[in-house]
Amino acid sequence: MSVKVAINGYGTIGKRVADAVSKQDDMKIIGVVKTRPTSEARFALRKGYKLYVAKDGAQAFADAGMEIAGTADELFKAADIIVDCTPGKKKDGSGTTGEDYLRVYRELGKKALFQGGEKHKLTGLSFNSTANYADSLGKEYARVVSCNTTGLCRTLYPLHQEFGIENVMAVMIRRAADPYDSKTGPINAIEPEVKVPSHHGPDAQSCMPGLNIQSMAVKVPTTLMHMHQLAVKLKKPATTADVLKVWEASPRVIFVSTKDGVKSTAQVMEIAKDLGRERADLFEIAVWKDGVNVVGDMLYYTQAIHQESDVVPENVDCIRALCNLEKDGKKSQAKTDKAMGIVKW
């Protein structure tokens, strides 16, 4: 019998999680919540998802000629678990916070998972499939960490397991806006995060406690992917080949190379298209194979992160962990990936 999943917030992440869940055989989407009758709502209907709305939102959908199946509360009651992909408070102070929604889910006695836009303290439990799947088994609430933190966990955790990590210095070169976003800049500037550490280091520690990591960040005028440049001091000696071997065996990490013409994030994203991925998404972290350099006890590497999609398989795994559908994280990852067509290539 399939776990009944409700999606609260059908935007960048919500719509992707809905599609990924739909491809699994142990869970299914019973409905998605939208607050306004946008074209995204129309596409949800087109895909066959039932639309649920806030109590006072029905009329707007009726006016737009979109059929709704009920209220958000009705959906939550019918669900086993809720994937919260709501955007949080807006800059003008309107909107509903994760805290508000957590209260709703708790009152209804429903499990829920949140996204990395929320803080760790909301649930006290942060989730990454590779780093700490087991911690979430049977729990009520978890937070799937952000796209960047997911990227850090995917490559750092296996190193930590294999060689031990003395410390990490990570510089995050962040995309300033998503591909569909035409409002946000900069058009021609680099914007530094002046706070050190940037939030990324501490956030990685929420899934990898005790990891000695420092992070700095900048925003740059691109929409495709984030890039990380990392300097890692290993505890045990390792060669470049040793490191590559560890990542070859790690889920959702792929190699690209400038020698194959993959010189930038532009060519990385073309791979997602050539692989036939839905929405041209790249769920894996792309590590430049010829950018992996071991110098003494230091490992240097560069990776690219598709901010719109890398957390999607983690959401599926997190549902499985919270609902106790699978005890073994590696098995859940394998099952998720097979259903989603994520294969090493």
Task: Find out whether 227 and 200 touch, Cβ atoms under 8 Å.
Answer: no
Query: What SS3 class is residue 269?
Result: helix
Provide CB contacts within 8 A for 270, sequence distance 6+: none
End-to-end Cα separation, the chain, in angstroms: 33
Least CB distance to a second copy at residue 230 (A) = 9
Q: Which of 85, 147, 207, 318 is catalytic?
A: 147
Contact call for residue 260 and a second copy (CB under 8 A): yes
> In whole angstroms, how close is the CB of 235 to a second copy at the nearest point?
18
Range in contact with a second copy (rule: CB under 8 A) among 23-31, 52-60, 271-279, 321-329: 271-279
User: Under rule CB under 8 A, how many of the chain's residues touch a second copy?
Assistant: 74
Under 8 Å between Cβ of 153 and 203: no
Phi, psi of 270 (to 5 degrees): -65, -35
**To the nearest whole angstrom, how small is the minimum distance from the Cβ of residue 8 to a second copy?**
19
Closer of 159 and 323 to a second copy (Cβ): 159
- Rounded to 5 degrees, φ, ψ at 87 are -80, -5
Stretch that binds a second copy, among 53-61, 155-163, 285-293, 322-330 (CB under 8 A): 285-293
C-alpha to C-alpha distance for 337 and 331, rounded to whole angstroms? 10
Q: 21 vs 225, which CB is nearer to a second copy?
A: 225
Footprint of a second copy on 115-144 (CB under 8 A): none
| Interaction between residue 240 and a second copy (CB under 8 A) | no
Among 21, 144, 225, 243, binds a second copy (CB under 8 A): 225
Residues across the chain: 345
Q: What angle do the packed helices 39-46 and 12-22 form, to 10 degrees? A: 0
Q: Is 290 in the site for a second copy (CB under 8 A)?
A: yes
Q: Identify which range of 52-60, 103-111, 263-271, 333-341 contacts a second copy by CB under 8 A.
A: 263-271
Cα separation, 112 vs 261, in Å, equals 42
* Interface with a second copy (CB under 8 A), residue from 26, 40, 73, 74: 40
**345 forms part of the interface with a second copy (CB under 8 A):** yes
SS3 121: helix
**In the window 163-202, what residues touch a second copy (CB under 8 A)?**
169, 171, 173, 175-177, 179-192, 194-197
* Site map 69..108 versus a second copy, x via CB under 8 A: -----------------------x----------------
Residue 299 backbone phi and psi in degrees, to 5: -115, 130
Please indicate whether residue 147 is annotated as part of the active site.
yes
Q: Which stretch binds a second copy (CB under 8 A): 54-62, 129-137, 150-158, 260-268?
A: 260-268
User: Strand 165-175 relative to strand 213-220: parallel, antiparallel, unpaired?
Assistant: parallel
The residues, ordered by sequence, that sit 6+ positions from 161 with a Cβ below 8 Å of its Cβ are none
Residue 62, amino acid: A
Give catalytic residue positions.
Answer: 147
